[in-house]
Chains A and B, each alone.
Chain A
Amino acid sequence: MADVPKDVASQASAIQVPLARREKAREDRELVHQAQKGLESAFEELVRRHQQKVLGLVNGILRRREDAEDVAQQVFLKAYISLKKFDQRAAFSTWLYKITVNECWDYLRKKKVRPLTYEADLSEEQVSQLDGPAAEENLPQNPEERAEVRELLEWLLGKLSDADRQLLVLKEMEGFSVQELAEILDLNVNTVKVRLFRARTRLMDSYRRRKQMAAKRGEAAGAG
């Protein structure tokens, strides 16, 4: 097989992604149509196709794994109830993700909690463990160390505003594209990009501040 130039290969994959999305959207449309006629198996198939994304979205907003699956199921129930009114002018996924975002906010309002709360501050030892991840690409092999680093990152995320955290989590951890985020959150694509970029720098600010504080405490303890 002849070598395909790198540029051409990357362009071809860039074209294939929207094509795959379009095909998926077309299949969704057909399934929605059947479900609207009362075919329950069609709706069940829609659930299967979107369950992971909805779960990721719920988890990204709530950051409460224990409740994520229950809320995600509630999202699909609401979608089923409203399905007859869905006119398919938007993609089914966009419509479903909007229901998801609303359901998450309803949940948070009812529970009267912030999506993520950390009462305790990080210890100096914990902060020093974050030196590695920012510089290196790979996670520690040791599961305990890995869990600890993840906990520290969750703590850092918890220090961000709800809006910043949601954008970062949905983009970086749950794999939503900028375009999808713009549609779900009713924002302009450029606004999403700018907010994302600012959220990234704020995360690093928070990380750096915490490190500096830990260093100062360490110096003070050494001098004492």
Chain B
Amino acid sequence: MEWNIKQGKCEEIEALLEDSLEGALESEGARNLLEVHLRECAKCREALEDAKSSRRLLKWCESAPEASPGFARVVMARIWAHQDQAGSGRGLVQALVTFASRLAITATLALGALIAYTAVAPPAPNTEITAMNAEGRYGLFTDPAQRAVTRDDFLRMVAETSHGQK
């Protein structure tokens, strides 16, 4: 890239200052631009000196400690624990889904059976007899006048129903 020396304002030069600090000024044009700018700009010269000093200061700081020897094993153990947890969670959900689907199938079958039964069932019986049967008072006999009072009456009426009425 060709650098235009006239464009060498302080803001535009900062990236080059960082490059020069790192020894990463590659192009001849960039080096010339920086040189010319620094010759004329006391502020940038001072900033460059500050940056160099702070770089020296930071070398005194400690970097991160070494990872513990079992770091990778601990990570794998955490992964396996996570998988177990996720697996048991999935198992519970799976069981619920199975139960729900079986319940739905049973309900569908029951409903189907009910519909089929309704479709082929005989017509409803005489409502009067049904009502009386429900009350449980008359049993086989539809006429209240024929109601048995004694045990003998009852046996006689049964005999008449079975034989006499035929």
Contact = CB atoms under 8 A, between A and B. Distances in A.
A205 B67 CA distance: 34
B115 interface: no
A201 B50 contact: yes
A74 B71 CA distance: 11
Interface in B37-84: 47, 50-51, 53-68, 71-76, 78-79, 82
A31 interface: no
Range class of the A interface residue count = 35 or more
Interface string B16-28: 0111011000000
Contacts of B71: 47, 51, 55, 69, 72-73
A60 B61 CA distance: 11
A155 B53 CA distance: 17
Contacts of B155: none
Given A203-B54, A204-B54, A69 B67 contact: yes
Contacts of A44: 72-73, 75-76
A18 to B, nearest CB: 13
A181 B22 CA distance: 15
Q: Identify whether the interface residues of A are mostly helix, strand, loop, or mixed.
A: helix
Nearest to B17: A197
Given A133-B60, A150-B60, A172-B55, A193 B18 contact: yes
B78 A77 contact: yes
A172 B57 CA distance: 10
A133 B57 contact: yes
Contacts of B65: 55, 59, 65, 68
A77 B60 contact: no
Contacts of B79: 40, 43, 76-77, 80
Interface in A169-213: 169, 172-175, 178, 190, 193-194, 196-198, 200-201, 203-205, 207
B63 A174 contact: yes
B147 to A, nearest CB: 82
B47 A201 contact: yes
B55 A200 contact: yes
A74 B73 CA distance: 13
B15 interface: yes
Interface of A: 40, 43-44, 47-48, 51-52, 55-56, 58-60, 65, 68-69, 72-74, 76-77, 80-81, 130, 133-134, 136-137, 139, 146, 149-150, 153-154, 156-157, 168-169, 172-175, 178, 190, 193-194, 196-198, 200-201, 203-205, 207
Going nearest first, the 5 A-B pairs with the smallest beta carbon separation are A59-B64, A204-B50, A200-B51, A193-B18, A172-B58
